[in-house]
Every structure is written in structure tokens, then in C-alpha cells.
Amino acid sequence: MSDIVEIYTDGACKGNPGPGGWGALLVFKGVERELWGGEAETTNNRMELTAAIRALAELKRPCAVRLVTDSEYVMRGMQEWLPNWKKRGWKTAAKQPVKNADLWQQLDEQVNRHQVTWEWVRGHTGHPGNERADLLANRGVVEAKRQHIV
């Protein structure tokens, strides 16, 4: 088996919608890389998706990835809902447009470049990778707020 890149992702939002941030910790052969960013007006779900997209996009070649998230929305979306959304032309079972379809499509594109295994962890329970991703996401919130002070 090839070496696995471990990725821990998280999103944060102060108000929903409101200023938000995303964070990701990438670990490969003991080397760590931190990524983060934010937006002035967004939602928690959009930040969770953005964290996964940006982390996977950072990988320059196809990789085996273990992506750890505390977002059931992201994990269930990728593992359960996405195939049917695609079959229905990005509509829900109730024939409504899929929320955040732009980001789901970007995430699907990134996932298709790699061999991704999804793992869910409960947030804020002391999981080291998840706690680091949470700190990075909150750093993104702070920067988003700072950039939009009038």
C-alpha cells in the first residue's frame, strides 16, 4: 500500500451566516502543513466543504488520503447523497436545488483525483488532528473579520 496522506479538516462560523473560517492539517511521513482561510459572509457548511476542497487541491499528484472531519454533512454528502444528486441533475429528492452545489461539485472533482477514505470524529472531544483543524478554522474567522472592519 502506498503511503497515506492524513488530512484533518474543520469549518467555523460566528453567526450562521456570518464571518467564517476553514482549516486543514495535512500530515505525510511526519511532515505537517497547515492551511486556513476565511470569508466575511458564509455558513458553517460552506466552510466545512471549503476546508476539504482546499486540502485535497493542495496535493500535487494523486494520493491515498484519509480525510478526517467532524462534519456529518460533508461525510454523508460524499458517501450517501452525492450519487443521487448527480443522477437528478443536482436536485434533492424533493426536487429542490442542492444547497452549496458549487462546492459539492468542486469537492467531487478533487475526490476523484485521489483515493479518499472518509473518517468522522466527534468535534471538540480532544482528538489532536481535529483540535488543530479547529484552531486553524478559527484563525480563518479572525482574519476574515479583520479584513472586513470598516
- Cite the active site residues: 10-11, 48, 70, 124, 134
What is d(CA 137, CA 35) in angstroms, rounded to the nearest whole number?
9
> Is 134 annotated as belonging to a binding site?
yes
> Is 109 annotated as belonging to a binding site?
no
> Is 48 annotated as belonging to a binding site?
yes
- φ and ψ of 8, to 5 deg: -115, 125
Beta strands 31-42 and 115-120 are unpaired
Kindly give, in sequence order, each residue whose CB lies less than 8 Å from that of residue 86, ignoring residues fewer than 6 positions away: 108
> Is 119 annotated as belonging to a binding site?
no
> Which residues carry a binding-site annotation for Mg(2+)?
10, 48, 70, 134
Instruction: List residues forming the annotated binding site.
Output: 10, 48, 70, 134
